[in-house]
Amino acid sequence: MPQFYQASDVEFDITVTVDGSPLPAIDAAVYSVFALDGTVLATATYADGDITYNAGTVTVSLSETQTAALSGSLKHDCMVRTTTGRDIAILSEKVKFLPMISRITP
């Protein structure tokens, strides 16, 4: 289970292949973090620039504002839409957000 820190910037990559080959491009993508009961807690999208795509790699970026309310064991998933209109689930698993105790102050 991946682990990230609450109230911190998070960035991670997901490799996307179809039939063993990377997709040449995508038209859309959405990433969500949600509670185990299905309540969506945070979302990132390709349209908003929180998700980028390059040569078979989706990069998801969440700001510390987006992760501020995330805590404990949750689920996250990501779906992309190919340029041919096919929707592909590329991630669906549990994730844990740990509290950030230490802070550097000026």
pLDDT, the chain, mean: 93
Residues 72-81 have a mean pLDDT of 96
Q: What pLDDT score does 82 carry? A: 92
Closest Cα to residue 70, out of 45, 49, 39? Answer: 39
Q: What pLDDT was estimated at residue 18?
A: 82
pLDDT of res. 103: 66
Confidence of residue 59 (pLDDT cuts 50, 70, 90): very high
The answer as to CATH 2.30.110.10 being correct for domain 3-98 is no
